[in-house]
Structure 1
């Protein structure tokens, strides 16, 4: 028996059910930084690790006060160059890492890093810290934990007129691929465990 709407148009059940869409657990429009911040919150709440994004030190130059309860910063500058994005502790291990993205499909450009960031990684590695980069290949929808020691190898080679990027094949071979999920959005502790087991994050 056909069913009609009050306006006389026929009702189609199939038309009311949208086609199944692939589910992508992870970003939902968020930046890599936002996803990591949520993941860190989850790790803290579940007492798995204590990791925070480092605050960026700013020197405020000009502030406007449109009202007593509101202040608007009009001009500011960085006091010191920022080091890496995140640090904290996991089961007695000091963690220090950065988060980077690229739209490249075949390699990750070293220009995304600054000399002081690599120097900071090396200083932390010298103290036995677990240091790495969370790298996202945006176009490929792939995400890796890549050891800072490997990054430093390519950085030093680039300074000696070597290639200026890290091939995806190298990251696949010496990094740990992550797969986004509901909780946490970015399960980077799986990569940290791998780094500890293989000693790749402390060399």
Structure 2
């Protein structure tokens, strides 16, 4: 496959080309209205409760500069600011591997690069370089579809941004190079099942 603007061909990281592309079950539609982040937090809690993995949302460091005490037993933060830019949304451990990923939702048929920051991508590169697993979970809200996209195919499109050729990732690219994440009753965003598939495929190739 040749990408626009003379991009190089990259390996297709999809696991199963016959995988379903849409959530078409009744249960899948029942989760509409809930944010992707909230669904992942609930999924992570299920993974933790069932002892499958330990993965949490990262807190963003905040510096408090002004606090009011209207009551002795209560404090109200009046002014605060972020100490430094956050990296990715979630990280943790699964089967001895460091897991680190960013979750994004979009109402468009593209994922705008303005929603992704350089320091996040650089952090994800370091995770991969040190043997961790880094990826994006991307939800197209109008289509009610959620995809798992590894860092490697993402980078080829991301690098075109700095050549001035791209401002977003097309839906079609994510469908081709990503893997649809199944919706389950308890694990609403069951991304660990996708990680298992990816790791199994990589072991077979090695």
TM-score range, shorter chain: 0.7 to 0.9
Distance 1:28 1:69, change over 3 A: farther
Whether 1:145 aligns to 2:148 is yes
For 1:36-115, what aligned pairs fall within 5 Å after superposition?
Answer: 36-105=40-109, 107-115=110-118
| Unaligned 5+ runs, structure 2 | 1-25
Equivalent residue for 1:121, pick from 120, 124, 127: 124
TM-superposed deviation, 1:23: 4.5
Distance 1:87 1:108, change over 3 A: same
Query: Could you tell me how far apart the structure 2 residues matched to 1:27 and 1:58 are?
Result: 32
Given that 1:63 and 1:75 are in contact with CA atoms closer than 8 Å, whether structure 2 keeps it comes out as yes
Distance 1:28 1:172, change over 3 A: closer
Task: Out of 114-123 and 155-164, give the one that drifted further.
Answer: 155-164
Deviations 1:5-44, CA, capped at 9 Å, x for gaps: xxxxxxxxxxxxxxxxx55456353211111111000001
| Unaligned 5+ runs, structure 1 | 1-21
Distance 1:183 1:23, change over 3 A: closer
Deviations 1:168-188, CA, capped at 9 Å, x for gaps: 111111111012221111111
Query: Could you tell me how far apart the structure 1 residues matched to 2:174 and 2:119 are?
Result: 22
Deviations 1:92-143, CA, capped at 9 Å, x for gaps: 11100011000012x2111110010011011111101100011000011000
Distance 1:25 1:68, change over 3 A: farther
Given that 1:147 and 1:195 are in contact with CA atoms closer than 8 Å, whether structure 2 keeps it comes out as no
Given that 1:26 and 1:182 are in contact with CA atoms closer than 8 Å, whether structure 2 keeps it comes out as no
SS state at 1:145 partner: strand
Match of 1:31 in 2: 35
- Alignment: residue pair count: 177
Query: Could you tell me how far apart the structure 2 residues matched to 1:26 and 1:44 are?
Result: 23
Given that 1:143 and 1:178 are in contact with CA atoms closer than 8 Å, whether structure 2 keeps it comes out as yes
Cα-Cα RMSD: 1.5
Greater RCO, CA 8 A, separation 6+: 2
